[in-house]
Amino acid sequence: MKVRWRRILVLCLLAAWIGTAWRQAHRPLPAGLHVASPVCALAADEVTFIADISAADAFGRATVSQGIFDSVLELVRGARRFIVLDYAAFGGAAVAAEPQRRIAAELTQALLEQRRTRPDLNILFISDAASAGGESAPAPELQQLRAAGVELVATDLDSLRDSNLLYSSLWRLSGRTAPRRLNFKANARKLIIADDGRGGLAAVIGSASPLDSQSAWSNLATRVGGGALQSLLASELAVARFSGWQGSSEAYGAHADCAPAAAASAAQSATTVQVLTEGAIGAQLIAQLDAATATDAIDVAMYRIADRAVIEALLAAARRGIGVRVILDPNEAQMSGGAAGIPNQVVASELMSRSGGAIHVRWYRTHGERFHDGLVMIYGPQRAWLLLGSAQLTRRSLGDYNLEADAAIEAARAAPLAQQALGYFETLWGNRAGLGIEYTADFAVFANPAQSDYWLYRLMEASGFAAF
């Protein structure tokens, strides 16, 4: 009898675990997530491509080119009515080593100066719970901003879906007493949106965080205006709202017209922008990859690639005769929820092997920093489609688990933005630089065909017990 009751108890606990895991993995998303804005036409000068590039010359000296947070600071100083910031991480240097740039202090001082100059300016700062002090004291810079009247919101990560099937359900069943960090949840959006001082909207959407310890990382961003930002602004306010913010949405409003998509597509020279968040990013990316033809080419510059749907779409594109090139961070620096070299090294080996060498891969030469790009380009003789922002090509970024924000931009291939993006990729791919700089290395340098590591990656990706 005791054995039977023990079996019943074990089965009940197993059923509760599986049921909780399924329910939390499929729960309805909070309002304002999985956004696909209207496709809006805009002038060529309303969208720019911005790259932060870190490398080393032949003598090992760092060479750094930065522009993302210069654009962020410019947007802050140009705002007249409101500023909304959403950054996963924010704060000064947490290590003894001197950071390349004290981004957090620069941004903090710019925001404080705007508050002093314009006391009526509304500033809303959304961050990940850890940065905002969800389990500890908030970053000192955030405390300064709060004292100056900036509205701070720590994202309610518990409202998001659970992806870690081996841990998150047990965490919920245990009364949430175990460490939260093993849930691997994050608000990974990295953006600022504000009025442009002329009644419209402007934003910088990218992959860079204002964290001093990450100031030397390579990143990409775009500064964009236009009507597509209305949807992004509404989404940001919705995130703040489900995270406990009780402020006035009316204080954060501006008018921005959106030209109809049909009118934009009628003009071959038109530039269009669509804002995408969470799973809408993955849906649009897969649609674009599947629609690519043999006259197109695909370039990818990414910090992490692990999502199975994206991998299969790239392989299918290569089978259709499309040229595919991929630049990846070697993932040599181990981070939370992963192992050195995983997932990129084994995924790159899979892409090369299964495509018969039709997909070409190069590795970014890092020197302690990260190659933290998030860029996909699909382009033909006339047009170029770019996807860039915070999302990585991973299950968490593209599967409605993390909070993410990207901009999908389509332009004539001869347009300045497309030429800048294509030139950027060619510079890295072909090591087109002086001073002995080698941006990227051959695939063989970090190739990892080991089946044990490959199946470890597959297990980590499928179970959610990883940060990718």
Residues 371-387, mean pLDDT to the nearest whole number: 97
Please write the tens of the pLDDT for every residue from 227-246.
Answer: 999 999 999 999 999 999 99
Distance between CA atoms of residues 70 and 210, nearest Å: 11
Please write the tens of the pLDDT for every residue from 264-280.
Answer: 454 566 899 999 999 99
The Cα angle at residue 453 between residues 451 and 454, in degrees rounded to 5: 60
Please write the tens of the pLDDT for every residue from 65-89.
Answer: 999 999 999 999 999 999 999 998 8
Task: Name the token pair of 161.
Answer: 């879906």
Cβ neighbours for 42, distance < 8 A, ≥ 6 positions apart: 224, 225, 226, 259, 271, 272, 273
Task: Name the token pair of 61.
Answer: 């000296």
- Look up tokens 């090369």; give the residue: 352
What strand order describes the sheet that includes 383-389? 40-42, 271-277, 405-412, 383-389, 374-379, 297-302, 323-328, 359-364, 440-441
**Where is average pLDDT lowest: 45-49, 189-193, 314-318?**
45-49
Query: Does position 56 have pLDDT exceeding 70, yes or no?
Result: yes
Residues 41-70, mean pLDDT to the nearest whole number: 90
Q: What is the pLDDT of residue 189?
A: 97
CA-CA-CA-CA torsion sign (186, 189, 190, 191): negative
**Which segments of 203-260 does DSSP mark as H helices, in order?**
229-242
Residues 169-182, mean pLDDT to the nearest whole number: 74
Of 467, 193, 141, the residue nearest 303 (C-alpha): 467
**Which segments of 292-439 does DSSP mark as H helices, in order?**
308-319, 344-354, 395-398, 416-430
